[in-house]
Every structure is written in structure tokens, then in C-alpha cells.
Structure 1
């Protein structure tokens, strides 16, 4: 809580404090005037006002110049570091040095984005900024804007298409969907046919519990319908479920290569045209000039784009055609 008594400062001209410090350093009115680019009468007038303000002579003439009184020495000892700090705050552009920074960044993202993005991102942060901590808040497209607006996260990685007032949204990467299943549960081959897609049960991720998605809308437009057997808000629950039941799960393609390798899942392109997943960075305008956030955004852009290229390369280099 601020405890400054505003009225106390209404009587003070900050320029006078600068004159006090320069007079102390130079020990001469004429040399102080030269350093301050002022006339000697102006500095003499400022000294007169300083004496009235502090009710002390502050400087007296001596054989070697203007000698500070104990009151002047005390004031300079207290004011000099404060004025130096004020000068840095006002005139030195803020900076962020990753190698030496001690900083915590708060990121909002869904579980699948964390699974896809964070291994590469955290590896880079650990290498380049060992004093930086990343704190993840579970989010989804319906919460991302509020988390940023309420300053609960510094940046959200979002698939939401709308941008609330006061926020900045930057699309960084797009990816397709991919359909997964376990070969021990379903004897299917890639690429899936539309008939095979609708003949089998589906696991669906929905952040609000809906059993209908944009894919179901596309199916309806083609006169088809699928059966959703299970709805969850967690992508991470899908691999163990697929290993136990005969079902399909359609997920962001960024997860497909790792899940295929780690859990022995088969994969295929979705056998109908689906909207791309547009991944964006979302942050508040009031932090737009923050150098620490600027470093993080630059890092996120690079890792997201490189991760997307890596996922696409993996998917195209393997047998599954998607």
C-alpha cells in the first residue's frame, strides 16, 4: 500500500535536488552552473531556495570552494542513491537477460497443448534461462480470455478465435486433426474410410460436456452420423482408454506421432474435411512492452513453429498417410 503524503511533495521542485547534488560534487557554483547548462545566477537562486526549503545554509564558502554543512552531507547521502535509481527507472529502457534472470512466467493452456509444447519449451528454457520458472494453469478456449484479463496468466496458448477488448491475439501455428485407435482393439487400416469412421464408437474431448462437435456437423452435412461413446475434458485420458476398448479418437495431429510411438496406436487422416486447429498466443496490451514477456513470446513462437514442422515431418515420414 502506498504511504506517500502527496501534499509534502507539492512544495518540492525536483530540479532543486539535482542542483544540490551537483553543487556537492563540484564544490563550486560556477562549475555546477557549467555542468547543469545554467547561468551562475540561476544556480545561486536555486541554492537560495534550497536553503529556505531545508532551513540550513547547506554550503559555506571555504578556501577550496563551497563546503557542505552536516545537513547537506546527510541529504546527499540519502538522496544520491534515490536519484540514481529514479534516473534508471525514468530513462533506462527496461531489459531482460535470460541467462541471469530470476523470473516466473505463468502460462495458460489445455492438457494437449502442454503435452505437445512443453517438453521442447522447457528444454530450451532450462538451457538458456536456468533461473526462469514456468507455471502452467489448466485452461481451455472458454477460459483463456478471462485468465489473461484477470492477470492470472501472462500468456495463454489458445485455440479460441475471438479476442476480448484489451487483449492481443497472434496466430502462430495451424494443425489438422488425426484419428487414432489401438490395433489390438480395432482391425482397421489407414487411411480410414468414411464408412469405417462412422461404423465405430468414438471418444470425444469436450470442455463443456457436449457430445457434438464441428466434426459431427461436417458428418451431418454428408448425411452421416457417428456414435460418441465417451466424453471427457482431458486429452491425456484417451491413450489408456483406446488400449482397452474398440473405439476411435480424433485428436490434434501434434499428438499423433508421439502417441503412436509411445502407446502403439494406429493413426489416419480424418476421412472428411475438418477445420484446422489454429493455435494463437494471447496476452494483455498493458504488458505488450514488457521485455520479459517479449522474450517469452519470441521463444514460444519459435518452439511452436519448430514443433509443428517436426510433427508434420514425423507424420509424413511414417507409413500412416495424414
Structure 2
């Protein structure tokens, strides 16, 4: 763009170039007018403007019709591929073919969602979209809105209901929590409220808070718990629970894999808690992009299956 003077284009009407191309093909003002659904005076006026623009007669009237000049021949040869390309760009928008196209998508996601979703997503993409790469961008619920407003990700998987006029949020569905612990550290088969508040807890907080909605639910019952360990990372909890007599209350999607891989136990939280709502969040500028739309459909389907 550095070599383009935008003011030069203010004097150019692309419709004139269409007249030039059609005139070259049919060699007749009358036939050009019929082809373009214009009157002969309109085509004659366009031809006059073309001659002024290029300072050349362009077409000479002969007994064989309107014969192009060498300048017209040169212009048509140069403009033909450009006009074809312009037509393709305007009227044939690029589609996205996951089987053939190479693309890197940036997915904003928190660490527990990454553990829960990404192995299944990558396994699915290995056959459905072999040329697609995934770049995970750290995005806890407080980061999701500003991250997407600045278009630092193609889509964010998040919780909450925060809105922005620049973004679209598609709610996928609700999910709940499970309390997990190691039976080697806390020997019990059935989790009761008394046992729940009788042991210490680990808490994941992205902002370092020592309380959560769970503590507020306990307070309404006149109960409280001791939170001994606060971390912004879910990934540290399984090994921690194997070493210490702690409870951790985590999104329910994590519990089956943790129980299988780390020998942990899981049970419903023994106090009523509100579910969280999983959503996809994307910038409105990406709304109609075929590749982004394909990614959103893949993620939506995966989330619904796993919920």
C-alpha cells in the first residue's frame, strides 16, 4: 500500500473498465449496450470518458466494427486477470475446508478447561482437521472479556454472564461441582457435611480470594471451613491431595479423570451450590468468518457431549 496514492482512485469508475472489457469482446457499441443492459448513449458516454482517462482513442470505427487500438489491447491484457480476481474476491468468499486448509486457532481457556477439553479436541482434530493447530491463551473468567475485546484469541471458553457490545456469547449449558479427596489421607466412604467442614480445604482462586460461593453457602447454614491452601491452578491439586488430608471442590468434569489417574475419591458437594454456565465468547468481527464459525461448532458440540 505504500506505493498507492488513494487520491488517484477517486477519479476511476470501475464500471468504465467493465465497458472497456465488454467493448473489446463484442466490438460494437450497440451490442455492448445490450450486454450491459444500458442505452447506447450511456455506453457512448462511458467510451468518451475512457478515452479521456487513457488519452487514447481505444476503439476505431471500421467496416469490421469497433477495432481496438494497441493501447486498448494492452489495457485489456492487463485488466483481464485483475477483473477476474476482483470478481472472485467479491462474489466468491473463501470457504474453510478443515480437511485441506492449514490454520492456527487461538483458544482462550482456563487451566481446568484445558485439562478437561483439549485432549478430546486434539484427538478429534487429528482426523477431522489435520492441518489445524491450536494455540491456548490463558483466560480465566476475569480475563475473558478484555482478551476478546482486544481480539487476542479467536474464541474463549468461559463461565459467567459478563457482556460487551463488541462480543457475542453463546451459552452451552450448566454444570456443577464435585468434592475430591484421597482415601489414603481421609478415610471415609460417604461424605457428610460434618466431615466436609471438619477437614481442611484447598481452594482455586484466580484472584487470590480465600472465600468462594461455597463459603457463602456454608455461612447460610451457620457453618464454615478452613481453607489452608489457595492456588490459581487446578493442575496442582491432585498431587497435593495425595500428600495431605485436604478436600478440594472442583468442576465436575475434572473428577472422573482425577479419580482414575490419581486414585482419588469424588462425591457431590454436601451443601447446595449454584451451577456454573459454560459459554463460548467471540468478537463480532469474527461472527461470519467461515473458519471461526467451524471452530465454534466443533467446540459447542464437544462441550455439549462432555457436559
**Alpha-carbon distance in 2 for matches of 1:166, 1:10:** 32
Relative to structure 1, is the Cα distance of residues 176 and 37 closer, same or farther in structure 2, using a 3 angstrom cutoff?
same
**Alpha-carbon distance in 2 for matches of 1:280, 1:107:** 13
Taking structure 2 as the reference length, what is the TM-score of the superposition? Answer: 0.94
Q: Which residue of 2 aligns with 1:292?
A: 291
How big is the shift at 1:3? 5.1
**Alpha-carbon distance in 1 for matches of 2:29, 2:186:** 92
Taking structure 1 as the reference length, what is the TM-score of the superposition? Answer: 0.90
Q: Which residue of 1 aligns with 2:227?
A: 228
How big is the shift at 1:223? 0.8
Per-residue deviation, residues 241-265 of structure 1 (Å, max 9, x unmatched): 1111111111000011111111111
Contact conserved, 1:142 with 1:160, CA < 8 A, in 2? no
**Alpha-carbon distance in 1 for matches of 2:76, 2:203:** 69
How big is the shift at 1:207? 0.2
How big is the shift at 1:62? 5.0
The aligned runs of 1:295-310 (5 Å cut-off) are 295-308=294-307
Q: Which residue of 2 aligns with 1:275?
A: 274
Contact conserved, 1:98 with 1:129, CA < 8 A, in 2? yes
Q: Which residue of 1 aligns with 2:105?
A: 105
The aligned runs of 1:120-269 (5 Å cut-off) are 120-190=120-190, 192-269=191-268
Contact conserved, 1:148 with 1:155, CA < 8 A, in 2? yes
Contact conserved, 1:60 with 1:69, CA < 8 A, in 2? yes
How big is the shift at 1:222? 0.6
State yes or no: 1:80 paired with 2:80: yes
How big is the shift at 1:93? 4.4
Relative to structure 1, is the Cα distance of residues 2 and 170 closer, same or farther in structure 2, using a 3 angstrom cutoff?
farther
Per-residue deviation, residues 109-160 of structure 1 (Å, max 9, x unmatched): 1010011111222222222222222111011011000000001011111112
Structure 1 stretches lacking a partner, 5+ long? 309-322
**Alpha-carbon distance in 1 for matches of 2:185, 2:63:** 100
Contact conserved, 2:160 with 2:276, CA < 8 A, in 1? no
- Secondary structure in structure 2 of the residue aligned to 1:243: helix
**Alpha-carbon distance in 2 for matches of 1:54, 1:19:** 14
